[in-house]
């Protein structure tokens, strides 16, 4: 059996998005499952839109996610000569031809045909059968010159997709397409087909949006005399809650965004691994959801990838991230939160206080950024401390709030400074007020929010003086 060779072939025209990351992950999982090779290829044929820093960013991000590659990165731009050689081969065999049309001419002819009948797909084959004399004359006029691949006039193009089954389109929907631009640069279809063939790719696993391009790549391979076909698997589209293609409107989509918002790479990788793929049910009757990359790789088969669009559920990701956060050893969790704290609190950052606060935050946090945010009340300059509007309203609506705050202050003035001694429940008990009714107001007064870090620990961390000052200040705002 031939060894499995898969590739991830991003275009370096921006940050790596979750869709691309999911494609990379599924390739990696397939390679690791089969003991094959995972190749990274940077498709920088679009020289104007490709940038070196995106190329580097993609690699850093893949590493962050825990995906290592075995070969590459191969830069497509380094192989232009090879692509052009293939184009020459196609010209020589008559599978491709030179086209001298300007874009305006192509568009004008297209519009004219549209006026006469149903729209056709674009180029009309105008330059298909030029004589050598025609070509010499047109070249002499200084016209643009591209190379087009000649597609069949009738019949169908078909391939079998592991996920989608038989995919068939009539050739009439695919016009003769450009494989070398007027600038002399090879076009993506050609470079992609040649590179896959030259690097012995056995399985092409990529996004559903590329399904249509496969017909062109297969036709190019055939015309170049490349034997055999890779196995194709086009992964389901990622959609948001409204079933529309996932985009910025739905939330974070670049991996940099997820990192900046404090998602753990292992949680994100786990979540992405289940977008379109699921593990078989275990003894509990349900498919396991919290799974490591190694467990995903062990279970990964293309036959279990569903063809229907995969719903990107931010709530579920948040839940999963929280699960991973709680599974971290405390020092590791603090270590990962630290850059967020330093970034937020700058000069006021204090490692000991922050560590103690994160120990309190771990139990409830959804993301590292959230966890760092909840420590805000410990680092804010006193004159900038403010109670969030909804929490202030809640405080003001609390029954007998003046009495509560006074009694709490009286207690904190004299009690020992330990979490046990700071416990305010007996104080409320004496007033015959339930903790559930009275404590949110104290949370708001001390932490600026009625849903902050555990209260008694927070008061101890904040210190007697600042806690008392805030509680007294809140007492003046109860109207």
Q: Given the rule CB under 6 A, which residues bind ligand GLU?
A: 9-11, 43, 192, 206, 210
How many other β-carbons are positioned within 10 Å of the β-carbon of residue 248? Answer: 10
**Catalytic residue of the set 245, 248, 316, 434:** 248
Q: Which does 459 bind (CB under 5 to 8 A by kind): Zn ion, ligand GLU, none?
A: none
DSSP code string of 78-101: GGHHHHHHHHHHHHHHTSEEEE--
Coil, strand or helix at 428: helix
Q: Which does 161 bind (CB under 5 to 8 A by kind): Zn ion, ligand GLU, none?
A: none
Element holding 239 (H helix, E strand): strand 238-239
Closer CB to Zn ion, residue 101 or residue 442?
101
Mask of contacts with Zn ion, 97-116, x by CB under 5 A? --x-x---------------
Least spacing, CB of residue 169 vs ligand GLU, in Å: 18
Q: Which does 10 bind (CB under 5 to 8 A by kind): Zn ion, ligand GLU, none?
A: ligand GLU
Residues 11-31 as b/e (b if ≥16 CB within 10 A, e otherwise) read bbeeebbbbbbbbbbbbbbbb
Least spacing, CB of residue 248 vs ligand GLU, in Å: 18
Distance CA 37, CA 39 (A): 6
Closer CB to ligand GLU, residue 10 or residue 273?
10
CA angle 207, 209, 214 (to 5 degrees): 85
Closer CB to ligand GLU, residue 9 or residue 387?
9
Burial status of residue 103 (CB atoms within 10 A of its CB: 0-12, 13-18, 19 or more): exposed
Determine whether 316 is an active site residue.
no
46 with 314: CB under 8 angstroms?
no
Q: Which does 127 bind (CB under 5 to 8 A by kind): ligand GLU, Zn ion, none?
A: Zn ion
Of positions 126, 364, 400, 437, contacts Zn ion by CB under 5 A: 126
User: What number of chain residues touch Zn ion (CB under 5 A)?
Assistant: 4
DSSP code string of 273-332: HTSSB-PPP-TTSS---S--HHHHHHH--GGGB-SSPEE--HHHHHHHHHHHHHHS-HHH
Closer CB to Zn ion, residue 68 or residue 105?
105
Distance CA 153, CA 170 (A): 9
Least spacing, CB of residue 20 vs ligand GLU, in Å: 7
127 lines the binding site for Zn ion (CB under 5 A): yes
Tell me the window of 95-103, 135-143, 305-313, 317-325 that interacts with Zn ion (CB under 5 A): 95-103
Q: Which does 473 bind (CB under 5 to 8 A by kind): Zn ion, ligand GLU, none?
A: none
Catalytic residues: 248
Q: Point out which residues bind Zn ion (CB under 5 A).
A: 99, 101, 126-127
């Amino acid at each position: 059996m031939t060894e499995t060779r898969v590739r991830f072939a991003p275009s370096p025209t921006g940050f790596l998005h979750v869709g691309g990351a999911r494609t990379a992950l599924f390739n990696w999982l397939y390679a690791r499952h089969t003991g094959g090779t995972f190749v990274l290829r940077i498709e920088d044929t679009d020289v104007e839109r490709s940038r070196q820093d995106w190329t580097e960013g993609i690699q850093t991000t893949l590493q962050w996610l825990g995906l290592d590659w075995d070969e590459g990165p191969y830069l497509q731009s380094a192989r232009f000569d090879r692509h052009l050689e293939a184009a020459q081969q196609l010209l020589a065999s008559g599978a491709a031809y030179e086209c001298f049309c300007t874009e305006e001419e192509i568009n004008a002819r297209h519009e004219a045909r549209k006026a006469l009948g149903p729209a056709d797909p674009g180029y009309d084959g105008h330059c298909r059968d030029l004589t050598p004399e025609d070509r010499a004359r047109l070249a002499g006029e200084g016209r643009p010159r591209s190379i087009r691949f000649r597609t069949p006039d009738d019949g169908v193009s078909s391939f079998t997709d592991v996920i989608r089954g038989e995919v068939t389109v009539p050739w009439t929907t695919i016009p003769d397409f450009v494989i070398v631009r007027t600038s002399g640069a090879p076009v993506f279809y050609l470079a992609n087909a040649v590179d896959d063939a030259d690097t012995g790719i056995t399985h092409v696993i990529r996004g559903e949006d590329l399904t249509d391009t496969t017909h062109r790549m297969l036709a190019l391979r055939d015309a170049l005399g490349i034997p055999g076909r890779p196995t194709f698997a086009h992964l389901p589209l990622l959609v948001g809650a409204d079933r529309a293609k996932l985009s910025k409107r739905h939330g974070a989509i670049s991996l940099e965004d997820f990192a900046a918002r404090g998602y753990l790479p292992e949680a994100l990788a786990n979540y992405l691994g289940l977008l379109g793929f699921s593990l078989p049910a275990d003894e509990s009757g349900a498919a396991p959801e919290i799974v490591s990359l190694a467990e995903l790789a062990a279970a990964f088969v293309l036959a279990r990838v569903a063809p229907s669009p995969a719903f990107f559920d931010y709530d579920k990701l948040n839940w999963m991230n929280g699960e991973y956060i709680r599974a971290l050893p405390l020092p590791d969790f603090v270590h990962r939160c630290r850059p967020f704290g330093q970034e937020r609190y700058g000069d006021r950052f204090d490692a000991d206080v922050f560590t103690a606060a994160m120990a309190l935050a771990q139990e409830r946090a959804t993301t590292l950024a959230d966890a760092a945010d909840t420590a805000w009340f410990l680092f804010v300059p006193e004159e900038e401390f403010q109670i969030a509007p909804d929490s202030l309203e809640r405080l003001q609506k609390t029954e007998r709030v003046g009495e509560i705050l006074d009694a709490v202050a009286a207690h904190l003035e004299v009690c020992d400074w330990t979490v046990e001694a700071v416990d305010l429940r007996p104080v409320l008990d004496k007033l015959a007020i339930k903790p559930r009714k009275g404590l949110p107001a104290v949370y708001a007064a001390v932490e600026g929010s009625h849903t902050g870090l555990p209260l008694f620990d927070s008061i101890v961390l904040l210190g007697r003086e600042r806690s008392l000052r805030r509680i007294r200040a809140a007492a003046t705002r109860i109207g």
